Amino acid sequence: MPDHPGALQRASEVIRRHGGNINRIQFDRRIDPVTVFFELTAPDEARAQIHRELAGMGYLQSTLKPASFLKFWAFLPHRPGALRRFLEITTACNANIAYIDFDDRGSNPDRLTVSLSLDDSAATDRLLDQLKSRYPLEILEYDTTGKNLDDTVFYLRFAQEIRRIVGDSEEEFLLSLLGDINHIAQELSKLGQDPTTVFEQILHNGDILKETTGPGFYVDIQEIPVADGMMLYCLQPPCGGSVFLIDTPDESLMIDTGYGIYNRDMVSVIRNRIPGVLDRLKEIVITHADADHCGAGGLFPVESVMHPGTQEIIRVANRAYGSRSEASILEEVYTTLINLFSDFHPPEKVRLLDRAPLRLRNSFPVIGSVSIGGVDLEILEGKGGHQHGQVYVYSSELGLLFTADTAINFRHISEERSRYNSLAVFLVTSVNVDSDVARAERAALLELAESSRGTYHGDRTGCLVCGGHGPVSVLSGRDLVPYGTLVRIDGE
């Protein structure tokens, strides 16, 4: 919208006249002085009329094509009206001036320094032709990719950064995504957060995921014998949740898949480190619907076992579905962003668990089982603290407890992984949809691990706690201590 008095009122009057109802409006000059976000409801025909009239006024942002950025010196004649004539030319070409500097008492009294942006390269060429015919010019910067745009067109520049991370995306999708991102900036501003920091964090985490694939990929592996002829593997990728494999000579079982963006690198490491294990893979257990736990499920040809609530969260793309935080825009947009950045490929072949409890394991309902090497592993239904539909996997015979994101050895998560994980906390204020329930749930899981003592393999008597992040650990008093050796393997 034009940056002059009455512009906002003109737009709202168009909406009112056609019977539209404004549900949300946000404008922050500190972020972008010409972009206002409206969300409104109106009947279909009225919405079309509003769209046409705002577009006719030049108010409607309908494209995110990269604007051209131009910085130059212009040498103007030193006479009255020279600057006015110069500005008439830039205005006629719809140039948006971001910076202008002139001082006739300075070291260059005839030099005007200008930075500006234009909607398309044709307008830039037209402006340059007109200026060159009147003034000596020296071009300092000329960019048509959108990389050098300044914050006077912040949202356009931000869209180009999103494109850089995820590749080409349709205009309609990006416009909708910018609206969502603006909405979380609005919400976090109410909580005292700096909105520019929100945008920086979003792009930073998208960049980290992209940079830690291919040559930047690495994985920390633990290899633990859990019975004769049966091995447990824990694989920690650079970001997100751990991937677990239980392997026997005849079959293997995977628990959680990691991000989709890591799948190619992860599969390469697994095939080199554990030959044949993926060929023996019979099924996958998905503990919950966050992208770092199920985001590669659709890239494996086997069936994934999951809770019905997990399937619904994937369907509605809101990690807070089924919880008291379900209406939170922060949770919903975070889900959209992380799915986008992480190349989300959720499971396609699905076996849903029956929620009717078979029995109780301590305070957790047992709602199903999977088997590996002739051993049955119970699937326990969580209480919804971290996420609706989260499940745990437990075997008293093997001394294994997969605790998903409820019980994690935070003290032994690497510093770089902890920094990455901070985005979720920053954007949604807590990774748990119900923190009080999550605390009680964690205590109950550790109580289950503590009560599960016996001789499992070799000298190990304690239950292995396999958290959704960090190393496989055992309880030592009230602390979780990493078990065995971690080996780091770099990607190709």
Instruction: Give one DSSP letter per residue of 190-211, joined into a string.
Output: HTT--HHHHHHHHHHHHHHHHH
Encode pLDDT of 160-202 as tens digits.
788 888 887 778 888 888 898 888 888 888 888 887 787 888 8
Query: Is the Cα torsion angle 139, 144, 150, 153 positive or negative in sign?
Result: positive
Asked, for residue 339, whether it belongs to a domain, the answer is: yes
Please check whether residues 357 and 380 belong to one and the same domain.
yes
Average pLDDT of the residues in 254-283: 97
Query: What's the token pair of residue 39?
Result: 């969300």
Whole-number Å distance between alpha carbons of 365 and 355: 9
Q: Crossing angle, helix 329-341 and helix 415-428, to 10 degrees?
A: 140
Residue 487 has what DSSP assignment?
Answer: E
Coil, strand or helix at 459: coil
Whether residue 351 sits in one domain with residue 270: yes
Q: Exposure of 232 by Cβ count < 10 A (0-12 exposed, 13-18 middle, 19+ buried)? A: buried
- 187-241 pLDDT, tens digit per residue, is 888 888 887 787 888 888 899 999 999 999 999 999 999 999 999 999 999 999 9
Q: Report the predicted TM-score, pTM, of the whole model to 2 decimal places.
A: 0.83
Q: Which one, of 299, 305, 377, lies nearest residue 343 by Cα?
A: 299
Closest CA to 67 of 95, 86, 88: 95
Q: What percent of the chain has a predicted confidence (pLDDT) above 90? A: 62
pLDDT per residue over 373-424, tens digit each? Answer: 999 999 999 999 999 999 999 999 999 999 999 999 999 999 999 888 877 7
Mean per-residue pLDDT for 282-306?
Answer: 98
Shared-domain flag, residues 440 and 345: yes
- DSSP 3-state of 431: coil
**Is the pLDDT reported for residue 144 higher than 70?**
no
Per-residue pLDDT, 169: 75
Q: How do residues 428-474 score in pLDDT, each as one tens digit?
A: 778 899 999 999 999 999 999 999 888 899 889 999 999 999 999 99
Residue with the bigger pLDDT between 477 and 298: it is 298
> Range of 84's domain?
68-143
Domain boundary among 112, 143, 174: 143
> In this structure, are 358 and 238 located in the same domain?
yes
Sign of CA dihedral 293, 295, 296, 298: positive
191 in a structural domain: no
How far, in Å, CA of 416 to CA of 146, rounded? Answer: 30
Judgement on whether residues 358 and 457 belong to the same structural domain of the protein: yes
- Which pLDDT band, with edges at 50, 70 and 90, does 330 fall under? confident
Please report whether residue 458 resides in a domain.
Answer: yes
What is the distance of C-alpha 200 from the center of its chain?
12
pLDDT of residue 186: 87
Q: Is the pLDDT of residue 24 over 80?
A: yes
Is residue 77 located within the same domain as residue 38? Answer: no
Domain count within the chain: 3
8-state DSSP, 398: T
The single-letter DSSP state of residue 42 is -
Residue 91: which region, alpha, beta or left (left: phi > 0; alpha: psi -120 to 50)? alpha
Domain final residue pick, 117, 143, 169: 143
Residue 103: how many CB atoms within 10 A of its CB? 11
Strands 350-352 vs 230-236: parallel, antiparallel or unpaired: unpaired
Asked whether residue 77 falls in the same domain as residue 51, the answer is: no
Query: Which pair of tokens denotes residue 216?
Result: 């930047």
Looking at the predicted structure, is the pLDDT value of residue 486 above 90?
yes
Q: Is residue 63 a part of any domain in this protein?
A: no
Dump the DSSP string for 358-384. SEEETTEEEEEEEEETTEEEEEEE--S
Residues 73 and 40 in one domain: no
Are residues 398 and 370 located together in one domain of the fold?
yes
